Amino acid sequence: MNTVNKLAKIGVKEITDRFMENGVCNQKKLSEYLNEQLNAKNASNTTIEAIQTHKENGVDVLNMPLAATSDASWIESIIISLMKKEVIDINAPGSSFIQRSVFAIEQGGNPYLSINDGKKLKMINENGSMDCILSMDYFTDVLFANNMIGKTFEEQRQWLIDNKIIGNTEDVKANTIGYRVPTQAQSSIHSLRCVDVLPASKNTIILPEEFTKITGADFDIDHLYLWSYNYSIGKSGEATLSTESDKKSLQNDLLTNMLTLINSVENSMHFLYKTVDTDTGLLRNVSDKLQGATSYKHHAFNFGTLHEQIDRKNDYITGKIGIGPYALNVTNQELTRLAKVKFAETIVTKSTRISKLDNMVDVDDNPIASWESGYINGHVDIVKDPFITSLNINQFTYNLSNLLTRCGFSETTLWFICQPIIKKMAAASNGANGQYTRDGSRSTYSIKETAIAKACAEVTGKDEAALVDLLDKIKNPSTKEDYRYIAKCINYIEENAGLL
């Protein structure tokens, strides 16, 4: 974190040097930057004119305050994006590369090119990293720095081998991290040692055959994002890790620390080589046990029926919505873990044990990130196997399932939200989102609340109006009677903690 903080401070200084003079924003420089950005985005002439400058008492000022422009929110987003890029994001050498199959490359399959001498790419090599083959354009920066761009492919390749940047010998170390987006779990991050290069392809990476199973890749233009070292060229033409600037040196330090962590088998990163199917299996185990759960296997000639096509279309539409909430929670889980975030201790948090958001594993010692990864996989493959819908995972339960999972109640979460009453509440809430249920005199929130109360009334047999009033009392207690009822609920939770 100390390295990240230093990089953030360098970013702040670069922003300050770029736009500030004597502690005051230089509006001329700001105008030039906004003019460049907005012109590239085809902004209106009115907006462009508003951000131009004129002289007032010898000082350049904008024609109109930014908050008064017609596209103020757009301009604000451009400025925030710049701040995020320079201060928050960690910018380092690398790019996204498309995964190509290893087929016909290994074991002498292509003797003319002699890629990696026809040897099999190692999933785990002698240094604890993974072998890969990259297209030559990945090394353009370091080759350009050494005036190697005009050389032949063989000369460039030999120079990379001589400087230990690529090679399949033990003295060549991993110098790249490859990760998939969304980064679901440890199985999405890998330490890579480039053993050889491709002569003609661009933005291409070849990985061991096991990698496809581990990450769930399917070659539908799968991208792997790569992060590499900054290199400097010495007087004799040799390549060394860059120390020429604080920023590049810190980026190298950060990458070294991450490579060391990933390559080590002495810590929890040994989860790295678990397949994403293992994560999905955590949810499938519960789905298979649920009463009435179906196999969803397609029967002959059934795929073309109208009923089947509508079901698959609905699965696809609703399923893709679910990827975002769980992908965001994977990242947020790590942030709350690093910051040790937890709820304030109250009688509710003590009774329910819903308190800590910095857990790494759940009550059964399964990584919480693996559960979140399983949720993502379930939504990504929902058309192929919509088991996730049998677990009552939908817009009504996204937040609840994420909260309980991150607090450590991973499997219990699924059993809890699959109760009939919660399924009815979810169906009622999601159904109230439709345009045919809208009422101009009432808010969507109010319509949902009534629908949920009606669903609860069908299960409990209680009056619908009384349930609406009860929900309001729980959310907005105002009398002693309201607080007594909440205390009664808490006592029930305490007495039945083991069962719940």
Q: Where are the beta strands (DSSP E) in 2-84?
A: 20-21, 24-25, 53-56, 59-62
Residue matched to tokens 């929900």? 471
* Stated pTM of the model: 0.68
Mean pLDDT confidence for 49-74: 89
| Average pLDDT of span 226-255 | 84
C-alpha 369/C-alpha 337 separation (Å) is 11
DSSP label at residue 119: P
Whether pLDDT at 496 is above 60: no
Q: Which residues are within 8 A (CB) of 161 and not within 5 positions of it... i.e. 6 or more apart? A: 167
| Per-residue pLDDT at 499 | 47
Read off the pLDDT band of 405 (50, 70, 90): very high
Closest by alpha carbon to 356, among 406, 390, 299? 406
Helices (H), 407-463: 410-417, 420-431, 444-460
Taking residues 428-456, what's their average pLDDT? 73
Q: How confident is the model at residue 470 (pLDDT cuts 50, 70, 90)?
A: low
For the cut 70, the answer to whether the pLDDT of residue 196 exceeds it is yes
With beta carbons less than 8 A apart as the criterion, state whether 136 and 156 touch: yes
Confidence of residue 317 (pLDDT cuts 50, 70, 90): confident
> Over 50: is that where the pLDDT of 38 sits?
yes
Beta carbons within 8 Å of 290's beta carbon, 6+ residues apart? 390, 391, 418
Q: Span 38-54, mean pLDDT?
A: 89
pLDDT band for position 112 (cuts 50, 70, 90): very low
Helices then strands, each counted (H, E), the chain: 20, 12
Average pLDDT over the chain, rounded to whole?
Answer: 80
d(CA 356, CA 373): 20
Query: Does position 358 have pLDDT exceeding 90, yes or no?
Result: no
Residue 437 has pLDDT above 70, yes or no: no
Best CA proximity match to 226, nearest among 124, 92, 127, 369: 92
Closest CA to 214 of 130, 94, 127: 130
What are residue 133's DSSP bridge partners?
Answer: 196, 206
Q: How many CB atoms lie within 10 A of CB 414?
A: 24
**Mean pLDDT, range 93-122, rounded to an integer:** 71
Lowest mean pLDDT among 54-63, 424-433, 472-481: 472-481
494 or 481, higher pLDDT? 481
Residue corresponding to tokens 């800590």: 356
Alpha carbon distance 38, 48 (integer Å)? 7
Confidence of residue 166 (pLDDT cuts 50, 70, 90): very high
Q: How far apart are CA 135 and CA 133, in angstroms?
A: 7
Does the structure show a pLDDT above 80 at 439? no
The 3-state DSSP class for residue 358 equals coil
